[in-house]
Amino acid sequence: MTYELYYWPGIQGRGEFVRLVLEEAGAEYVDFAKHKDGSEVAVRELMRVLHDTATPSPPLMPPVLKAGSLLIAQTANILMYLGAHHALAPADEAGRLWTHQLQLTIADWVVEIHDAHHPLGGAFYYEDQKPEAARRAALLRDQRLPKFMGYFETVLGRNRSPSGLLVGNSLTYPDLSLFQVLAGLRYAFPRAMARLEPDYPGLVRLYAEVSARPRIAAYLASDRRLPFNEHGLFRHYPELDP
């Protein structure tokens, strides 16, 4: 089966969490966000899926994955599906729930990272909420990054396997998402991360291990990996990273 991924063109965004799983799985997929006919067609294809009045399960927001007759939205939900079908999650109930719990905690973290540059919501530009963003970003740097990073460091330490991964012996989908969050934070907050990272050696190791996996390394080196930019979740505004 060839999957179809629908997302906004030009940014990694939440689509990137899905792409990393598809790449690690070696899955066949068509990425409609990178449509050969350009961004306008990519957006039109996305709108076609979001507004298809024939589907009984309409998505509200992208990313959306078409998997045969299934149309799946919500990043963590898509990853749960792919994890189950590509051996990137445990098969037993306890393991599946724990893996998904970690993914949902990463999703909470991502919302907080996004809100650091958009505390008043997505309807206003960053330029229209700079003082508010400065206050919220300080909170993110000083309190929330240590909280989440400390939590995932604890999780890595509790794993009875010496894999260096979040769950058991082998890679699961939240490992890929945690790599992506760390990559995004290094881009957006290089100074804060340089200060913080020495306290979280497990996270640094996980980042290195994930990025060295053959399929992930090949993906990151390819032109399929879009660069980070100031339109996505992880934005580098130097004034937010003093």
Residue (111 or 221) nearer to a copy of itself, CB? 111
Per-residue interface string for the shown chain with a copy of itself, residues 105-124, x marking contact by CB under 8 A: x--x--xx--x---xxx-xx
- CA 201 to CA 183: how far, in whole Å? 15
- CA 106 to CA 129: how far, in whole Å? 25
Residue (22 or 216) nearer to a copy of itself, CB? 22
Closest listed residue to residue 74, CA positions, set 14, 135, 152: 14
Q: Is 58 in the site for a copy of itself (CB under 8 A)?
A: yes
Q: Is 18 in the site for a copy of itself (CB under 8 A)?
A: no
- Cβ neighbors of 161 (< 8 A, separation 6 or more) are 168, 169
Q: Which of 101, 169, 170, 229 binds a copy of itself (CB under 8 A)?
A: 101
Residue (74 or 211) nearer to a copy of itself, CB? 74
Min dist. Cβ of residue 214 to a copy of itself (A): 29
In angstroms, the Cα distances linking 122 to 51, 116, 117, 128, 200 are 21, 12, 10, 11, 32
Classify each residue of 80-109 as buried b or exposed e, where b means 16 or more C-beta atoms within 10 Å of its C-beta: bbbbeeeebbbeeeeebebbbebbebbbeb
Residue (55 or 170) nearer to a copy of itself, CB? 55
Q: Is 222 in the site for a copy of itself (CB under 8 A)?
A: no
Q: Is 76 in the site for a copy of itself (CB under 8 A)?
A: yes
DSSP 8-state assignment for residue 33: G
Residue with tokens 């490992």: 175
Helix, coil or strand: residue 46:
helix
Ordered strands of the 70-73 beta sheet: 29-31, 3-6, 64-67, 70-73
Closest listed residue to residue 17, CA positions, set 96, 101, 91, 103: 103
Stretch that binds a copy of itself, among 6-14, 27-35, 128-136, 230-238 (CB under 8 A): 128-136
Q: Is 165 in the site for a copy of itself (CB under 8 A)?
A: no
Residue (36 or 160) nearer to a copy of itself, CB? 160
Q: Which of 80, 88, 149, 216 binds a copy of itself (CB under 8 A)?
A: 80
Number of residues in contact with a copy of itself under rule CB under 8 A:
48
Binding residues for a copy of itself, rule: CB under 8 A, are 55-61, 69-70, 72-74, 76-77, 80-81, 93-94, 97-98, 100-101, 104-105, 108, 111-112, 115, 119-121, 123-124, 132, 135-136, 139-140, 143-144, 147-148, 151, 154-155, 158-160
